[in-house]
Chain A
Amino acid sequence: MDFWTLANAVASGLLIGLVYGLSALGLSVIFGVIRIVNFAHGEIMVMGMFFALLMFRWLGLDPLLSVPLAAALMFGFGYVLQLVVVSRVSHLPEHMQFLLLAAIAIMIVSALLLVFGPDAQGVDVDYAWNSFAVGELIIDYPKMFAAIAAVIVASLLLAFFKYTSTGKAIRACADNRMGAQVVGLNVSRLYALTFGIGAACLGAAGAIILLLFEVHPYLAPGYTLLAFVIVIIGGLGSLFGALVGGILIGVSEAMAALLFQPSMKSAFSFGLLILVLLLRPQGLLGKAVR
């Protein structure tokens, strides 16, 4: 295998990994603040994909232009889900919350199946097959645009948490829920906002990734598991870790596809997950939080 084949695989994995990272960010935000493992993660992302698909079909809207709309829609979904459903089970044991979200995940997949059917559907943008070359490194436009969009959304999110007062309030909530209540923060509203923001990440990531892959309802569990792999490698609750974990998984999957068989790439990720869970359950970059 020559250098350029390898470089191309790495570059492609890196670009897709950024989108994975954005998606994992959505899981990490929700866990970091609400301490709930969102088992409906991939399902919300696939809802974003289908939304962008409809926008493309009905209005001819490029999926990248659908990103803000998908994010807004999923924000609303996440906000309501937390406020109306998830908040009601905060007193139940952790495993019941997990199972509730698993049931919600199945509801979403089944509903999508009813509406859209099981077949894979994609969008056809005019730059789909365009690319540019640096030396023998060939970069596809869709992958590059997707990565840029993911970086923009992720940066906006990080800036929100760093600079806005609401973002700071949410972080305060994550650090110390009681303390946040004592100083008069409306915790249930902030939790709803947080779930909304996490879901918005997923909506955005879904719209972006539609540029690269076709969508069908059964895609969802795979994305959920992928995001688990990423955040556990990067450390549950660590935002930066989610991005780095995304890139790591993107690249390692591309390498696995190159070295073994493309269909083996997710076995590689799960193997990695098992290793990380066993050796460093708080994640490669995470702090010990348990």
Chain B
Amino acid sequence: MSPLGRYFHPLSPAGLWLGAAFLAVLLLLPVWGGSYVMTVATTVFYLALIGQSWNLMLGFAGLLSIGHALFVGIGAYTAAYLFAAVGLPPIVGVLPAIALAVLMGVLIGYLGFRFAIGGVYFALLTIAFAEFVRIIVDHVSWLGATEGFFLKVSSADRHGIDLVNLRGAPEMYYYLIMALALGALVLCRFLLRSRLGYYWQAIRDDAEAAEALGVNVLRYKMYAVIISSGMAGVAGVFYAFYQNSLFPEIVFNIERSIEATLGSIVGGVGTLFGPIFGTFILTPLGEIVTEAIDLLKHWGVIDPQIKLDGLKLLIWSFIVVLIVLFKPKGLWPWVCSRLRLTRPEAEG
């Protein structure tokens, strides 16, 4: 087996070819895709990165977070503020951004696990912290408060590649977030096959048994939170320099935290490829719906005055409800077995 083949061992030859073809299409996307397609694809990878971070906590280690927007937001605000205030380029600023996001994760994790807060109570703790920070940032004037925090960007910045300052053409952002999302995939795969992955899954399935087998449950839960919040912090830095504007009402909104969960649920919580797969279904689907409606309005089938703002989320959440009801393990394991994308003995 080739080194690459060994690396993707769980994939069958069919899965490997399909994956390679898919990757090739995505790599060449800027060649044939317009700016709109690029925007959508960038969003897909961005959400896939956050989804993987969330999946690492719930799917691998059994810790439900409904506060992932908090880690993303802290990463975003930290890097953006350091760039605007002292000119620290984001390639360096990403380090304090990760550090602060991880610090917040450690705080929540330590408090939660120390006091044996599990299950839905832990989820509520993450929500409470996210909302608490949102309201605080709402009132911090040097972070722009409710007015928003903006990064200066000129039209000259929209060309070329400046990875140090994260300024450049849309293609740069696309390839960057693609690399980050795929990097996260490689990291997750590595972790899942390591001691950490074994211990996390053991804790997820039965913490008491794991403890009896010598696993320091508190410590390994903490590692999951640290890695997950760090990944989300990186996503936040990307967001800040891609959007160039940060509003607490948007960045820290609980809806962002719930959005982070949707792709993974559709793809399959606890699977390696599930979060990416799910995001690749949901996001384009939402865009197709939006486009279809614009077209219908254009043709006069629907009154152009009608606003259909909530429709995309309505469809997304409806799909999630259907998935939880009928395919609670997610679509990825099902697609895998249908198309024989993975070897029978290996898990997706």
Contact of A106 among B111, B136, B313, B328 (CB under 8 A): B313
B310 touches A109 (CB 8 A): yes
A–B Cβ pairs within 8 angstroms, 30 of them:
A37-B120, A85-B321, A89-B325, A92-B328, A98-B64, A99-B320, A102-B261, A103-B265, A103-B320, A103-B321, A106-B258, A106-B314, A106-B317, A107-B321, A110-B310, A110-B311, A110-B317, A114-B314, A117-B307, A118-B309, A221-B254, A225-B131, A228-B127, A232-B121, A261-B139, A266-B135, A277-B117, A277-B125, A281-B117, A290-B121
Which of chain B's residues have a CB closer than 8 A to the CB of A98? 64, 120, 123
B104 to chain A, nearest CB (A): 13
Q: Which residue of B lies closest to A224 (CB)?
A: B254
Which of chain B's residues have a CB closer than 8 A to the CB of A92? 324, 328
Within 8 A of B (CB), among A247-275: 261, 263-264, 266-267, 270-271, 273-274
Say yes or no: A277-B317 contact (C-beta < 8 A), given A102-B261, A112-B310, A221-B255.
no
A278 touches B117 (CB 8 A): yes
Asked if B318 lies at the interface with its beta carbon under 8 angstroms from chain A, I say yes
Chain B residues bordering chain A, tally (CB within 8 A): 47
Contact of B135 among A94, A228, A264 (CB under 8 A): A264
Within 8 A of A (CB), among B118-142: 118-121, 123-125, 127-129, 131-132, 135-136, 138-139
Contact of B120 among A94, A110, A112 (CB under 8 A): A94
Say yes or no: A274-B128 contact (C-beta < 8 A), given A94-B119, A95-B58, A107-B318.
yes
Asked if A100 lies at the interface with its beta carbon under 8 angstroms from chain B, I say yes
Q: State the main secondary structure of chain B at its contact with A.
A: helix
A277 touches B121 (CB 8 A): yes
Which of chain B's residues have a CB closer than 8 A to the CB of A228? 124, 127
Say yes or no: A99-B261 contact (C-beta < 8 A), given A225-B254, A267-B132.
yes
Q: Which residue of B lies closest to A268 (CB)?
A: B135
Asked if B299 lies at the interface with its beta carbon under 8 angstroms from chain A, I say no
Which of chain A's residues have a CB closer than 8 A to the CB of B120? 37, 94-95, 98
A263 touches B320 (CB 8 A): no
Chain A residues bordering chain B, tally (CB within 8 A): 45
Interface string of A79-115 (1 = CB under 8 A from B): 0000001001100101110111011111101111110
Within 8 A of A (CB), among B32-87: 58, 64, 66
Give the CA-CA distance A69 to B12 in the complex, in Å: 59
B303 to chain A, nearest CB (A): 13
Say yes or no: A114-B320 contact (C-beta < 8 A), given A263-B135, A267-B136.
no
A107 touches B317 (CB 8 A): yes
